[in-house]
């Protein structure tokens, strides 16, 4: 690891898109990695996602609560072994809620309500998080620019990073191309995108192999994305 003179700071990359470095402490990260390993086992475990156009996603995925497939949600792993999707644990839904609160508390909240006269009230608490997508990236994996648009809810998307550092690209709501902002997501980092950025294109162009914290016991990168289905 290279030296760093200044601590990384929370940053609002675009309205409603907030990066909170080191949101999860090392022991919470280890707990989440252990949980991901359990979720990744069959039935309805980690699978390779095939896209309708013939492509294959390089990040492998397992879902909780509802099963995402290109492009919709199901109660069973319709493009996997067909088993019922594992339930969304209450504690993970609560973690999603806490993430939104912490991300928007001290940044300007993209989902905020601006009262007449300009005063900004706290963003309303979103409905319970009922979906988790867990993506596993090995050294070669990446994720192309896309929007999370299969939900029927405007609740912010919550994204937790574990293991190897990656480059996360937050784009705009109109095109897969520039303008975009690249940010490094490290193990324990939180990224929330809601409000004006809820439907922004985003992706993971690069994972830096071998950069996971040594104590975590993970080779590769796990991303836990929490969403409200509204379904």
> Could you count the other beta carbons within 10 Å of the beta carbon of residue 222?
25
Which of 18, 99, 135, 170 lies at the binding interface for ligand AKG (CB under 6 A)? 135
User: 97: Cβ–Cβ under 8 A, 6 or more apart, which residues?
Assistant: 125, 126, 128, 129
Q: Which stretch binds Fe ion (CB under 5 A): 43-51, 114-122, 140-148, 184-192?
A: 140-148
DSSP percent split of the chain into helix, strand, coil, nearest 5: 15, 35, 50
> How far apart are alpha carbons 205 and 81 in whole angstroms?
29
Of the candidates 27, 8, 4, the residue with the CA atom closest to the CA atom of residue 162: 27
**Binding span for Fe ion by CB under 5 A among 7-15, 119-127, 142-150, 177-185:** 142-150
Q: Least distance (Å) from ligand AKG to the CB of residue 164?
A: 11
Window 162-191: residues binding ligand AKG (CB under 6 A): 168
The length of the chain, given as a count of residues: 231
22 binds Fe ion (CB under 5 A): no
Q: Which does 35 bind (CB under 5 to 8 A by kind): Fe ion, ligand AKG, none?
A: none
Q: Is 133 in the site for ligand AKG (CB under 6 A)?
A: yes
What region does 217 belong to: left with phi over 0, alpha with psi -120 to 50, or beta? left
Residue 210 CB, nearest distance to ligand AKG (Å)?
18
C-alpha distances in Å from residue 18, one per residue of 58, 65, 113, 203, 216: 26, 25, 17, 15, 25
The interface region with Fe ion, picked from 53-61, 84-92, 141-149, 164-172 by CB under 5 A, is: 141-149
In the complex with Fe ion, the residue whose CB is nearer, 32 or 133, is 133
Name the segment binding Fe ion (CB under 5 A); options: 19-27, 80-88, 147-155, 193-201. Answer: 147-155
Angle CA 225–96–108, to nearest 5 = 100
Q: Give whichever of 107 and 132 is closer to ligand AKG, judged by the CB atom.
A: 132
148 binds Fe ion (CB under 5 A): yes
Given candidates 14, 92, 143, 190, which one binds ligand AKG under the rule CB under 6 A? 143
Binding partner of residue 29 among Fe ion, ligand AKG, none, CB cut-off 5 to 8 Å per kind: none
* C-alpha angle 31-161-79 in degrees, rounded to nearest 5: 90
Q: Tell me which residue has tokens 């050294």.
A: 139
- Smallest gap, in angstroms, from Cβ of residue 169 to Fe ion? 11
């Amino acid at each position: 690891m290279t030296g760093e003179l200044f601590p990384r700071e929370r940053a609002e990359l675009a309205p409603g898109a907030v990066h909170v470095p080191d949101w999860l402490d090392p022991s919470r990260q280890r707990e989440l990695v252990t949980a991901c390993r359990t979720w990744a086992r069959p039935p309805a475990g980690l699978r390779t996602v095939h896209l309708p156009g013939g492509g294959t996603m390089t990040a492998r995925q397992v879902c909780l609560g509802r099963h995402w497939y290109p492009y919709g949600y199901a109660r069973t792993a319709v493009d996997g072994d067909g088993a019922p999707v594992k339930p969304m644990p209450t504690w993970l839904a609560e973690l999603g809620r806490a993430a939104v609160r912490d991300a928007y508390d001290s940044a300007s909240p993209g989902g905020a309500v601006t009262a007449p006269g300009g005063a900004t009230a706290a963003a309303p608490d979103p409905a319970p998080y009922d979906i988790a997508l867990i993506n596993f990236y090995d050294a070669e994996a990446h994720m192309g620019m896309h929007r999370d648009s299969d939900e029927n809810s405007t609740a912010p998307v919550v994204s937790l990073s574990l293991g190897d550092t990656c480059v996360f690209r937050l784009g705009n709501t109109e095109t897969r191309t520039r303008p975009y902002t690249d940010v490094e997501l490290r193990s324990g980092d939180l990224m929330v995108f809601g409000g004006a950025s809820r439907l922004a294109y985003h992706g993971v162009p690069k994972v830096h192999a071998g950069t996971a914290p040594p104590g975590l016991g993970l080779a590769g990168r796990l991303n836990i994305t929490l969403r409200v289905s509204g379904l």
